[in-house]
Amino acid sequence: MIQYKNNEEIALIKESADILGKAHGLIASRIRPGITTLELDQLAHDFIVKSGGRPSFKGYNGFPYTLCVSVNENVVHGFPSDEKLKEGDIVSIDCGVYYKGFHSDSAFTYPVGEVSEEIMNLLKRTKESLYIGIEHAKFNRRIGDIGHSIQKYTESFGYGVVRELVGHGLGRSLHESPEVPNYGRSGKGPKLKNGLVIAIEPMINLGTPDVIQEDDGWTIRTEDRKPSAHFEHTVAVLESGTEILTTHKYIEEYFDF
């Protein structure tokens, strides 16, 4: 069952999202060759707790960290590690904050130092596809319109759209109905009604759409080991216009692409 949110609830999700946005900004300020993603995890954890929030992912189905950190061929749900980021890597940082009873969820994929043009294009176009998806997440449209628009745009470059993982509703729980696939047919799926809050999160692979799960039981990587990008916002569908509740503005002070 879809839980539609009222204005007060959406305002609380925005408060949660503001802490999340600043945590992302803090991470963005530190991304460079030589830093370990465990350091980033600690930074984000401490900032969220100091701000009165709780990291949404830590303890979720036993996930042990604040951040999902997915480097290069890892798509999502990777663990932070003590391995240093290297020039030319890309790293998806996914984070959620629970605050005053509500979750927010957003992700950004960073280039570490200089990356190849091919990989930079993957990042730019995956990020663009997030905003294209949001453009189609309008009152009275359907869930399939979102996925169709993301799929059409990213497949036009020959990229693979991950099927096994999808966006989701969220609010009092981190994952609620409905599922929000990054593929599909326009005009299909649940109608987008006033007060629907969803995380839209394209996961786009340079090569095959196929993914496998690593033996740690969490990390999802591309089957062909080519890189994958992931960008995510939490948005509210309102009759008055769709609002992006999470923000990348603090990230964009450091990474403006």
The contact set with Mg ion (CB under 5 A) reads 94, 105, 107, 199, 232
Q: Smallest distance from the beta carbon of 57 to Mg ion, in angstroms?
A: 8
Q: Which two tokens stand for residue 160?
A: 């693979």
Q: Smallest distance from the beta carbon of 201 to Mg ion, in angstroms?
A: 5
Burial group, residue 8, by CB count within 10 angstroms (0-12, 13-18, 19+): exposed
Nearer to Mg ion, 187 or 249 (CB): 249
CA distance 44 to 25: 10
**Cα–Cα distance list, 180 to 6, 133, 198 (Å):** 20, 10, 8
**Cα–Cα distance list, 113 to 84, 228, 235 (Å):** 13, 17, 30
For residues 69 and 55, the answer to whether their CB atoms sit within 8 Å is: no
CA 83, distance to chain mean position in Å, is 22
CA distance 119 to 82: 24
Nearer to Mg ion, 89 or 94 (CB): 94
Q: Smallest distance from the beta carbon of 168 to Mg ion, in angstroms?
A: 6
Nearer to Mg ion, 106 or 151 (CB): 106
Enumerate residues 6+ apart whose C-beta is below 8 A from 252. none
For residues 148 and 186, the answer to whether their CB atoms sit within 8 Å is: yes
The SS3 of residue 60 is helix
